[in-house]
Amino acid sequence: MPLEPAVAVEDRYRTLLRDNRARDAAAGRTLEGPHLTDLSVTYADKQIAAREASTGEQKALLIGLVLAHAGLLAEMSGFAPVLLLDEVVAHLDPARRAALYAELEKLGGQPWMTGADAAAFAEIEATADVFEVAPGEVQRRA
């Protein structure tokens, strides 16, 4: 497909959505669009498809994509986005956790991270607000 101005692609997609509105409503979802596109990721260090990488490597690749997008948003808007990272350190070795924390610090903004293993956050505990969540209550850890 030849390159074309973004406005032309946007106009074509708006027309597609308008023309298919009844069909999409009947289906209960949008049947065509960029959300149906597959993303192919290669782990460059090993020259393998991401699906063949270890769980930790896959997690690191995904985090890299999220951080790259956050960096782009910060660059474009002048404001770092709030990041909601659920179980983000699960499956990360200590070196990858340290790299994540360094990248979040460099990005700025306000990351919110959840995790079941409090020890995984020990490295940033002195500079972060840590909360413990239990049924019916949230308490700041002293």
73 shares its domain with 133: yes
Strand, coil or helix: 86: coil
One domain, residues 63 and 123: yes
| Residues sharing a CB contact under 8 Å with residue 83, sequence separation 6 or more, in sequence order | 66, 70, 104, 107, 109, 110, 111, 112
Is residue 57 located within the same domain as residue 31?
A: no
Q: Tally the domains of the chain.
A: 2
Based on the domain organization, do 114 and 58 belong to the same domain?
yes
**Domain contains 25:** yes
Instruction: Spell out the per-residue pLDDT of the chain, length 142, in tens.
Output: 678 999 999 999 999 999 999 999 999 999 999 889 888 999 999 999 999 999 888 988 999 999 999 999 999 999 999 999 999 998 888 998 999 999 999 999 899 999 988 888 999 989 999 999 999 999 998 7
Q: Which region, left, alpha or beta, applies to residue 84 given φ > 0 means left and ψ of -120 to 50 means alpha?
A: beta
Together in a domain, 22 and 85: no
Does residue 59 sit within a domain?
A: yes
- 15 found inside a domain: yes
Which domain, by its residues, includes 97?
Answer: 53-140
120 and 81 share a domain? yes
Q: Are residue 31 and residue 69 in the same domain, yes or no?
A: no
What's this model's pTM, rounded to 2 decimal places?
Answer: 0.72
